[in-house]
């Protein structure tokens, strides 16, 4: 990373504040069992004025953005540091679950994901999550799997991997069963294995000109 692209002290402090606000809102949502906590209540707990909140988040539903960005950063870092000879499907499955394993709060995480998935305004923000992951995933795959030269087909596996991860979380939430977080990793692993089998089968076929 070049010096000019590094965040300044002011930018780092602003992001730290956004993350503190997001964590406070998340804890309130989980404790309440819904997303009805007001901006004023969140601000009172954090110790800021509502105008400060809205300087960072135009609307309340944007407040989870810092948590989603942090999750993306954890995944990118995990893939970047993955051993070259590690199983590709297992590495992808663990990358998409490593953050929650570190927190060791599966029930809280499950309640949070339930709210994000089943509350329309927050689901829209959650569905936007992963847009910054496609390039790092493509880089990870290209060093381990044949992707070909077609720009569309090179990017498509990463898009499908992000979608598979989302579907694993949705399935985990909707099953409504107990247990530790290994359940969602197992779903991730099944999905990633299926994708990679399909990808390798397609790439093994002779290329067919597009009409």
Tell me the per-residue pLDDT of 27-86, one tens digit each, with 9 for 90 and over.
999 999 999 999 999 999 999 999 999 999 999 999 999 999 999 999 999 999 999 999
What is the CA angle 144-145-151, rounded to 5?
A: 120
* Structural domain boundaries in the chain: 9-62, 64-203
CATH 3.30.379.10 assigned to domain 9-62? The reply is: no
CB atoms within 10 A of CB 110: 22
CATH 1.10.20.140 assigned to domain 64-203? The reply is: no
pTM for the complete prediction? 0.88
Residue-averaged pLDDT of the chain: 91
Q: What letter does residue 181 receive in the DSSP assignment?
A: T
Task: Indicate whether 101 pLDDT > 80.
Answer: no
pLDDT in the model for residue 169: 92
* pLDDT per residue as tens digits for the range 183-192: 889 999 999 9
Local structure of 144: helix, strand or coil? coil
pLDDT in the model for residue 96: 95
Q: How far apart (Å, rounded) are the C-alpha atoms in residues 105 and 30?
A: 12
What is the CA angle 75-79-83, rounded to 5?
A: 145
């Amino acid at each position: 990373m070049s010096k000019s692209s590094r965040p300044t002290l002011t930018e780092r402090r602003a992001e730290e504040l956004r993350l503190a606000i997001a964590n406070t809102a998340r804890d309130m949502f989980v404790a309440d069992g819904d997303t009805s906590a007001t901006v004023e209540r969140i601000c009172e707990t954090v110790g800021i004025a509502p105008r400060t909140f809205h300087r960072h988040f135009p609307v309340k539903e944007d407040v989870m953005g810092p948590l989603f960005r942090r999750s993306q950063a954890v995944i990118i870092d995990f893939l970047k540091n993955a051993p070259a000879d590690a199983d590709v499907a297992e590495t992808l499955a663990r990358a998409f679950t490593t953050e929650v394993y570190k927190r060791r709060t599966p029930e809280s995480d499950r309640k949070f994901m339930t709210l994000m998935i089943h509350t329309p305004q927050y689901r829209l923000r959650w569905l936007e999550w992963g847009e910054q992951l496609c390039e790092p995933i493509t880089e990870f795959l290209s060093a381990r799997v044949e992707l070909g030269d077609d720009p569309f087909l090179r990017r498509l596996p990463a898009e499908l991997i992000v979608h598979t991860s989302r579907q694993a979380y949705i399935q985990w939430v909707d099953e409504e069963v107990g247990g530790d977080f290994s359940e969602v990793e197992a779903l991730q692993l099944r999905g990633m294995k299926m994708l990679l089998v399909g990808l390798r089968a397609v790439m093994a076929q002779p290329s067919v000109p597009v009409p």
